[in-house]
Homo-oligomer: A and B are copies of this chain.
Amino acid sequence: MQQHHEIKDIVPITPTAAMKAAWHGGRAKCLQRLIRLDMPVPTTVALCFETVRAIADGQHRDVTAFLEPFDKDALLSVRPSSEHADWGGPGAILNIGMNNARHAELSRTVGETAATTLYLRFIQAYAVHVARLDPDAFYLPDEPDAVALAGALAAYEDEAEEPFPQDIAEQLSGVLRSMARAWNGTSARLLRQAKGAPADAGLGLVIQAMALGVGPGESGAGVIQFVDDQTGAPQVTGRYLSQSQGRDALNADSAAIYLARDSRGQSLQERAPEAFDDLVRMGDLSRQRLREEMQIEFVLEDGRIAILDAIRLPRASRATVTVAVALAQDGIISKAEALMRIEPATLSELLHRQIAPNAPRNVVARGIGASPGAASGKVVFSAAAAQAAQARGEKCVLVRRETGPEDIRGMHAADAVVTERGGITSHAAVIGRGLGLPCVVGASDLTVQEGERRILCAGSILKEGDVIAVDGSTGDIIVGDVPMIEAGLDDSVTTLLTWADEMRDIDIRANADTAEEALRSAGFSADGIGLCRTEHMFFEAERLVVMREMIFADSAEDRRAVLDRLLPMQRADFEQLFTIMKGLPVCVRLLDPPLHEFLPQDRRGLRELASALDLPVKEVESRIEALSEYNPMLGMRGVRLGITVPEIYDMQARAILEAAIAVGNISPEIMIPLISAKREVELVKKRVDAVAAEVRTETGVDVDYSLGVMVETPRAALRSGEIVQNAEFLSFGTNDLTQMTYGLSRDDAGRFMSAYVQKGVYPEDPFHRLDSDGVGELLQLGAERGRAARPDVKLSICGEHGADPEAIRMCRAAGFDYVSCSPFRVPGARLAAAQIAIEDQLTTR
Contact = CB atoms under 8 A, between A and B. Distances in A.
Interface of A: 629-636, 640, 643-644, 674, 676-677, 679-680, 683, 712-715, 718-719, 736, 739-745, 747-749, 751-752, 755-756, 759-762, 771, 773-775, 777-778
Given A677-B761, A743-B713, A778-B718, A633 B636 contact: no
A759 to B, nearest CB: 7
Determine which residue in A640, A760, A777 has the highest number of CB atoms from chain B within 10 A of its CB, and name it. Answer: A640
Contacts of A643: 752, 755-756, 759, 761
Contacts of A759: 643, 679, 683
Contact of A634 (B739, B761, B762): B739
A590 to B, nearest CB: 16
Contact of A715 (B629, B741, B751): B741
Contacts of A743: 633-634, 674, 676, 712-715, 736, 740
Contacts of A760: 679
A568 B718 CA distance: 46
Contact of A633 (B630, B756, B773, B778): B630
B630 A632 contact: yes
Determine which residue in A634, A644, A740, A759 has the highest number of CB atoms from chain B within 10 A of its CB, and name it. Answer: A634
A774 B744 contact: no
B777 A718 contact: yes
Contacts of A679: 759-762
A773 B633 CA distance: 23
A736 to B, nearest CB: 7
A214 to B, nearest CB: 57
Given A677-B762, A718-B778, A629 B740 contact: no
A645 to B, nearest CB: 10
Contact of A773 (B640, B719, B742, B749): B719
A371 to B, nearest CB: 20
Determine which residue in A631, A633, A644, A745 has the highest number of CB atoms from chain B within 10 A of its CB, and name it. Answer: A631
A257 to B, nearest CB: 57
Contacts of A756: 640, 643
Determine which residue in A677, A714, A747, A777 has the highest number of CB atoms from chain B within 10 A of its CB, and name it. Answer: A714
Nearest to A634: B745
26 contacts: A629-B748, A630-B745, A631-B634, A632-B748, A633-B634, A634-B744, A634-B745, A635-B745, A635-B751, A636-B751, A643-B755, A643-B756, A644-B752, A680-B761, A713-B741, A713-B742, A714-B741, A714-B774, A714-B778, A715-B742, A715-B771, A715-B773, A715-B774, A718-B774, A740-B740, A740-B743
B752 A718 contact: no
A756 B638 CA distance: 14
Given A631-B632, A752-B636, A744 B676 contact: yes
Contact of A745 (B629, B680, B771): B629
Determine which residue in A643, A719, A742 has the highest number of CB atoms from chain B within 10 A of its CB, and name it. Answer: A742
Contacts of A712: 743
